[in-house]
Amino acid sequence: MIKDLTQNTPIVTVAYNRPKSLLRLLGSLNNANYPNKDIPLIISIDQNDSNNEVLEVANNFKWAHGKKEVRYQEKNLGLKNHIIKCGKISYEYGSVIILEDDLYVSKSFYYYTLEALKFTSNKSYVGGVSLYNHKLNQHIFSDFSCVEDEYDNWYFQYAASWGQAWTSLQFQGFLNWYDENHTLGLKPFVPKSVLDWSDKSWLKFYITYLIENNKYFFYPKISHTTNFGDTGTHFDYPSTTYQVPLSYSEIKTFTFSEIEKSKSVYDAFYENIGLYTILNLKQDELCIDLYGHKPNYNQKKYYLTSKILDYKIVKSFARGLRPIEANIIENIKGNELFLYDTTIELSNKSKKNKLSNLLYNYRAISYQSSIYLAIKLTKQRILTFLSAKK
């Protein structure tokens, strides 16, 4: 039986073979603020013949804010099935917070999550709550930030894996869909970079579920988790690529937006769908592709992109403001972003400027680093040329 949403949402840490990571996460959880001393902590450890140290960390940890429970899986589930099993804990409590062991939380993460779960619990367009806030477009590894409005949240058709929460109904909606979709096949409206992930990825399936059912994940403007990128299932070596600024608010009240009032609603390609309204075009008329990552753009009459293509330019914009869509919102004139009519072919070769794209996406690079990079690239090209001549 699925329970209703409660004030005492359990925190579930997902662990496998990283004892130091788990200990760091548990320490940040103990240092956070909570509304009472009855917060359930569940440490779920996937079976591994050599993870006795992880089990020791879990058993020895003193949880200061309620009851602690260690759940050691009897057989190895793998990350996807482990996350799904942990998600089902929402059925026991009405909701659940899931944290993988290489994360770190803000002091106010629990208050944010409770408020977000309550706010979204009756909204059919929300498929889950993120504690993490993206600062990187993961498809093309370029700078990303959402539009700032008067609210503390934004909407993204992309599920979160670096700190997420579900009500029982939100998670049940996914599982009902997943029972019929254990394989995905060709999905033209799902980013290829997502479809290329292994079927062992639960996130791949959840993102597809959101897209196919026109649902969104609910994201904070300021992150309440950050990712250390420790060596493990996701990373072959430590990485700070996904580190983001963490909220240092002790306890905060939040102002959340309904999706129809938000200026920060994004599809799975990190594209702001508010631009349809700004340009007075319908979704079946326009493909928004400012990051240049969408396939099959020419299936629609109009195409808004940073690419240089041989179609008639209806309107062009600069690429100076951040986030990138602000240039269209503010109608900044220029020749770096283009609205094409794809029914009319016309040469635009003279407008190509790869350097402009590079300089926009990478905010700063030192003179020494630029010289080093130029030398390395030149050597690589020379070696490639010489090997081809052999």
Query: Is residue 379 very low, low, confident or very high in pLDDT (cuts 50, 70, 90)?
Result: confident
94/25 Cα distance (integer angstroms): 24
Domain boundaries, the chain: 11-266, 275-352, 355-389
Tens of pLDDT, residue by residue over 278-297, are 999 999 999 999 999 998 77
**For 298-324, what is the mean pLDDT?**
94
25-51 CB burial, b ≥16 within 10 A, e <16? bbebbeebebeeeebbbbbbbbeeeeb
Supply the CATH classification number for the domain 11-266.
3.90.550.10
Residue with tokens 């009459």: 301
Give burial (CB, 10 Å; 0-12/13-18/19+) of 234: middle
pLDDT of 365 = 64
* pTM of the predicted model as reported, rounded to 2 decimal places: 0.91
How many CA atoms within 13 Å lie on the side-chain side of 77?
A: 20
346/140 Cα distance (integer angstroms): 28
36 close to 5: Cβ distance less than 8 angstroms: no
Tens of pLDDT, residue by residue over 73-130, are 999 999 999 999 999 999 999 999 999 999 999 999 999 999 999 999 999 999 999 9
118/106 Cα distance (integer angstroms): 19
**For 223-230, what is the mean pLDDT?**
90
200-214 CB burial, b ≥16 within 10 A, e <16? ebbbbbbbbbbbeee
Beta strands in 75-208 (DSSP E): 95-100, 103-105, 126-130, 136-137, 142-143, 153-156, 164-167
pLDDT of 229 = 79
Q: What token pair was written down for 111? A: 């208050």
Neighbouring-strand partners of residue 100: 14
12 close to 44: Cβ distance less than 8 angstroms: yes
